[in-house]
Amino acid sequence: MMLQWRIFHTLCSAGREAPKSLKAGLLFPHVLSCGHRFVWHRTKTSLPDSRERTLIAVKPDGVQRRLVGQIIQRFEQRGFRLVGLKMLQASEDLLSEHYCQLRSKPFFPILLQYMTSGPVVAMVWEGHNVVKTSRTMVGHTNPAEAQAGTVRGDFSTHVSRNVVHASDSVEGAQREIHLWFQAKDLLDWDSWDQMSTSDVTTSSAS
């Protein structure tokens, strides 16, 4: 299935039509739009729960304050798998697409200024319920309301310098990962402790 998806994805990114047989074998990838741009995504059901992925990015203030290591440690310690990592100076175009739902907000220009003020460390983390769990780990958008113990609750005081980004839904994560990473830069690997940390066999698990 993973190989099938990769071939499909490569053809779509190259703007080519995928063969019908390949399309039929995939579990209904759907399209999410943001502004003028349309992106193909896997549905949540096309991947096992333990393969759920999210985009986490240490923002320029977090990098400047040398918090990258501590943030990575929290996700490793929780039991998630790092499947992609890069440091980059993000462009306005990328950020404008990333934050497309916020374009009409008064703080949008300042947000772009902040996010382009220095390097960002972008990561893809994988694991059971990683999207929801990482939002909890990162904490409320406004650090004043973020619980102690969360990244924002421990390291920030102002909404405009809140250290870290975490995708807010499975579909949003797929859109963001596709924006920040090429499929070839994400690794599929099995951690040795997977059976004891995340492989849940009961049907009621969520």
Q: Tell me which residues touch ligand UDP (CB under 6 A).
A: 102, 107, 111, 141, 159-160, 162, 165, 168
What are the structure tokens assigned to 66, written together?
A: 């040398």
Return the number of the residue (101 or 182) whose C-beta is nearest ligand UDP: 101
Minimum Å gap between C-beta 77 and Mg ion is 24
Which of ligand UDP, Mg ion, none does 163 bind, CB closer than 5 to 8 A by kind? none
Judged by beta carbon, residue 26 or residue 173, the one nearer ligand UDP is 173
Task: Output the smallest distance, CB 160 to ligand UDP, in A.
Answer: 4
Annotated catalytic residues are: 165
- For residue 118, what is the DSSP state? S
Write a three-state SS string for 139-206.
Answer: CCCCHHHCCECEHHHHHCCCHHHCCEEECCCHHHHHHHHHHHCCHHHCCCCCCCCHHHHCCCCCCCCC
Residues 88, 93, 99: CA angle, nearest 5 degrees: 90
CB of 77 to ligand UDP, least distance (A): 22
Which of 142, 194 has the CB closer to Mg ion? 142
- Interacting residues with Mg ion (CB under 5 A): 168
